[in-house]
Amino acid sequence: MATKINNNSRKHLANAIRALSMDAVDKANSGHPGMPLGMADIAEVLWNDYLKYNPNNPNWANRDRFVLSNGHGSMLLYSLLHLTGYDLSLDEIKNFRQLHSKTPGHPESHVTKGVETTTGPLGQGLSNGVGMAIAEKTLAAQFNKKDIEIINHHTYVFTGDGCLMEGISHEVCSLAGTLKLNKLIVFYDDNGISIDGKVDGWFTDDTAKRFESYNWNVINNVDGHSSEELIKSLEKALQSKNKPTLICCKTKIGFGSPNKEGKESSHGAPLGDKETKLTKKVIGWDYGSFEIPKDVYESWDKKEKGSNLEDEWNNNFKIYKERYPKDAYEFERRISSELKDNWILKSQEYIKACNEKKENIATRKASQNAIEAYAKILPEMIGGSADLAASNLTMWSGSKDIKEFFDGNYINYGVREFGMSAIMNGISSYKGFIPYGGTFLTFSDYAKNAIRMSAIMSLKNIFVFTHDSIGLGEDGPTHQAIEHINSLRDIPNTTVIRPCDTIEAAIAWKYAIENNYGPTCLILSRQNCEFQERTNEQIALSNKGAYVLKDAKNLDVILIATGSEVGITMNAAKELEREGINTRVVSMLSTEIFEKQNDDYKEEVLPAKIKNRISIEAGSTSFWYKYVGLNGDTIGIDSFGESAPGGELLKYFGFTQKNIIDRVKLMLKK
């Protein structure tokens, strides 16, 4: 329920946001003042009266989540964090957009306390918000009891015209309606302006009707500068039982600016000293640059209120702990992102079992087996697929669709590769879950922007990508492109693992689950892969990303292979040995992991004195010269392929035992 605050007082509090935003953008001579000026009244009502948070503890489990999807409005969020009492000083506000400041151009979760997600490209913040709402609903269903609740909160998102033009927004919002995420409330800042000018005519659809068709509760034509209308809208939104809510707010970009209000000139450039002074005069803000009066600070300060809210929750959780000690322990473990005590032992037991079975199966099937084993240990694993569960094999015997079972662990995303991946970012940011999602490798391009954001935020997400035969297969280049693996490897802070058999698949999943430093992309084959015999020492070394799978004395040549090409490389190496050519085979399941090893280990695997090196991977070759050298050789594909059965394509593109042997002999002749 909203606090009874005089409208003039509300406007005055909102003007503190406006003043700080204008001053910071002007000082930086860079930024976007228009949105903070336009949405300040909405923010004031939400943050003063409805949003549940504690500035003393930005990570309190039952806080409401607030996401700024239109990241150009970053100064609105920074102003709110500063005014309400988060650890964001006035000096940092003055340092807006500067190197190593806590106030970068767009909000970044790993930089500024109180920022829930790194906004990224338009629509991605909204997608993260959908993920957070999914996480809230699912975690609540898994841990709340009939007699006591420990998770019950909302996710609020600020969006603009641009957000609702992006395709990803509609991918995720249609899913949000399907999943009936009633605790998701989105404010649409309908100011009719983009950086290019008025957007009249850019939309031919009716946004309100479009969201109604997505099964959303739509509150239309709200005056975004009227606290009364905003309060009424929020009260109505909070009553929704089975639908997310879109509150369409009519606002004026650059509100209060005598010469730039309602114009694109206030969107992405400072107002300037003269216009800032005029704007402050118009809105009645009679204070100097970066000056906030004491009474305004006192009215905004939420440290005491936030502590009281969290104390109330702590008392509630204490009762929960007494009644349900096992559940309480599990809840605390999960939101702190700790793995179970028996994880190491159980995962090692599974790897040992794989070694004993020696199965010749596709790595996608090996991946499914690993999910089956590991998900039984870790209930926080929440899977999903972009309409390709049967091809990616991301479901296991315990998979439960969250649409049907609120306490479930699987999301049928539909054909939403980008949306799936960005929602996973939201779920991971929320804490309490380890999300994984699958699609075809070629569709990783749709997802790549979200993978990149996952990497920036160092989120534990597991992306499952399958490919056919040599990367092309019967479907041709539309489905099996050859350049994707290397492009994924180029994303900083991202680990790409391409296992060659059941052992490496089990180790890949173990690594991905334990990886706290960014996303992991698993590249899996759809054709059977021959099991490779290993010693216990080799199994242990496979954790290092690359290891010697087959060795010989007095080396003549090193063959570096990855994934489904390891089997054929091993067969070629055995034949070379019979012909008296001493051959080492290195299985390079992850170059990122290998690069993290010390120089001694790298030298041990790839001794510098051995110049004769050939890489074998059914993808583009340029990446591999860092390992084979300019005088080395690569067997790969640097063109788009053909559509044909896999066996024919292997021969056509040279992925045969004979070609590997011929290339080795040619190299040794030189």
C-beta separation of 486 from 619 below 8 A: yes
Per-residue pLDDT, averaged over 194-223, amounts to 89
Q: What is the pLDDT of residues 95-126, one digit of tens each?
A: 999 999 999 999 999 999 999 999 888 899 99
State yes or no: pLDDT of 140 exceeds 60: yes
Q: Enter the pTM of the model.
A: 0.96
pLDDT digits (tens, 9 = 90+) for 309-332: 999 999 999 999 999 999 999 999
Contact indicator for 483, 451 with CB cutoff of 8 Å: no
The pLDDT tens digits for 255-268 are 999 999 989 888 88
**Which residues sit opposite 528 in a β-bridge?**
362
Q: HSE-up of 558 (CA within 13 Å, CB side)?
A: 24
Report the distance separating Cα 545 and Cα 591, nearest Å: 6
Tens of pLDDT, residue by residue over 11-48, are: 999 999 999 999 999 999 999 999 999 999 999 999 99
pLDDT (0 to 100) of residue 471: 59
Mean pLDDT (the chain, rounded): 94
> Where residue 2 falls among pLDDT bands split at 50, 70, 90?
low
Beta bridge partners of 223: 250
pLDDT band at 186 (very low <50, low <70, confident <90, very high): very high
CB atoms within 10 A of CB 288: 9
Q: In this predicted model, what pLDDT tens digit does every residue of 358-398 receive, in sequence order? A: 999 999 999 999 999 999 999 999 999 998 898 899 999 99
Q: In this predicted structure, what is the pLDDT of residue 527?
A: 86
Q: Using 50, 70 and 90 to split pLDDT, how confident is the model at 165?
A: confident
Q: What is the rounded distance in angstroms from the CA atom of residue 85 to the CA atom of residue 305?
A: 11
Q: Which two tokens stand for residue 402?
A: 């969250």
Tens digit of pLDDT for each residue in 461-502?
999 999 865 555 677 777 767 788 999 999 999 999 999 999
List the structure tokens of 171. 């991918």
Give yes or no for a contact between 560 and 614, defined as CB atoms under 8 angstroms apart.
Answer: yes
Bridging pattern class, strands 583-588 and 633-635: unpaired
* Statement: residue 237 has pLDDT above 60: yes
Alpha-carbon distances, residue 180 vs 185, 217, 390, 407 (angstroms) = 12, 10, 25, 14
Burial, 168: exposed, middle or buried (Cβ in 10 Å; 0-12, 13-18, 19+)?
buried
Residue of 132, 115, 49 whose CA lies nearest to 76: 115
Which of 417, 504, 592, 617 is catalytic? The answer is 417
Phi-psi region of 400 (alpha: psi -120 to 50; beta: other; left: phi over 0): beta
Paired tokens of 193: 């302006």
Report the pLDDT value the prediction gives residue 205, as an integer from 0 to 100.
80
Angle at which helix 124-143 crosses helix 325-335, to 10 degrees, equals: 160
Residue 128 and residue 423 in contact, taking contact as beta carbons nearer than 8 Å: yes
- Residue 22 buriedness (CB in 10 A; 0-12 / 13-18 / 19+): buried
Gap between the Cα atoms of 353 and 507, Å rounded:
12
Taking a C-beta distance cutoff of 8 angstroms, is the pair 419, 413 a contact?
yes
Is 417 known to be catalytic?
Answer: yes
Mean pLDDT for 131-157 is: 98
